[in-house]
Amino acid sequence: MKQLILLDSEAVNALAHRSHPKHAKAVSQAQLIATRRTRRHEFNVAVPVSVRVEAGWDRAASEWTFANRFRIADIALDGAAVDAAARIRARTGASVTDAHLGAAIQLAAADHVTVITSDPGDMRAVASGTRIVVIPI
Amino acid sequence: MTREEAIDRLNELLDSTDAATVNTSMRLPHALRDAAALAVQEFGVAPSTTVMTANALRSMLEAVAMQAVLDLHYTEYPETRPSLADLAVAAAELDEHPLASQPDVIRRYAREIVERHPNASPEDVLLWADARRYREARQAKEAA
């Protein structure tokens, strides 16, 4: 079973920065994913590029080294994702980053999508009926 | 090569888009090679044994890279290493366990299980929690 884990900007910052109050929680999730990957669970972790912008994640900057090493993929905002995000934003009034997360949820080529987020309600709204697991950070 | 350099080089190689292939001198047990060929031919698990082998190797290397990053982090900052209870709470959230919203209860069961099973996994904690709650519910029913 393919499982996609999406992070919002709060989750990105929590994982990346040791001083973040939720760093321990983010590391626990990362450790669990790493352990399950060694048991052949097919987990992929990804971040929409607009979330990276909001979080200030510059892959060239040294303060992001820890997050960079985690093999977290970028999800581009192009093609069908733009259209899907625009529809979500028009329907829900969500921010651009949340709409992009919603598009990523809807277009995911995975059996199961989990979102680690500081806004569980917003994520359920932009998921637009797509079944997701929401982990509050 | 330092551990940091090894992690960065591993990630760099895994991210490479170079599609060039190489014949390797890797030696596989006959039976394993034949099993792989059978799995491809009869169960369609991959387009070829080469693809299956490469995918399995990539998957394992990505897991190794991720764990190496965490291990390095724990070496530098030991206080960031999650406890069994932390991991059990994380597993409950990821797996939508009924106790996911009650981390304190999970932590209590984590403390209980390590008394008998010091090497318990996060999943063991949740199974223990299920068993304990089932027993408590049954006792309450019988008492009523």
Q: What is the ipTM metric for this complex?
A: 0.91
Contact A32 B89 (CB under 8 A): no
Give me the number of domains chain A comprises.
Answer: 1
Nearest to A70 among B64, B69, B82 (CB): B69
Q: Check: CB of residue B89 under 8 Å from CB of residue B103.
A: yes
Q: Which domain holds residue A122?
A: 2-136
Contact B70 A30 (CB under 8 A): yes
- Looking at residue A32, what is its pLDDT? 96
CATH number for A96: 3.40.50.1010
- Unique residue bearing structure tokens 């990957």: A37
Does the beta carbon of B13 lie under 8 angstroms from any beta carbon of chain A?
Answer: no
Contact B96 A133 (CB under 8 A): yes
| DSSP code for A17 | -
Closest chain B residue by Cα to residue A70: B66
Please report which confidence band the pLDDT of residue B119 belongs to, taking 50, 70 and 90 as the band edges.
Answer: very high
Phi, then psi, of B140 in degrees rounded to 5: -65, -40
Q: Check: CB of residue B126 under 8 Å from CB of residue B85.
A: no
Q: What is the mean pLDDT of each run of 10 residues along chain A (137 residues)?
A: 94 96 97 90 92 96 94 93 96 96 94 95 93 95
Entry pTM: 0.89
Q: Does residue B20 register a pLDDT over 90?
A: no
Q: Check: CB of residue B87 under 8 Å from CB of residue A28.
A: yes
Residues for chain B: how many in total? 144
Q: Does residue B19 register a pLDDT over 80?
A: no
- Looking at residue A115, what is its pLDDT? 97
Question: Mutating which of B10, B16, B66 best tests the A interface, going by the most A Cβ atoms within 10 A?
Answer: B66
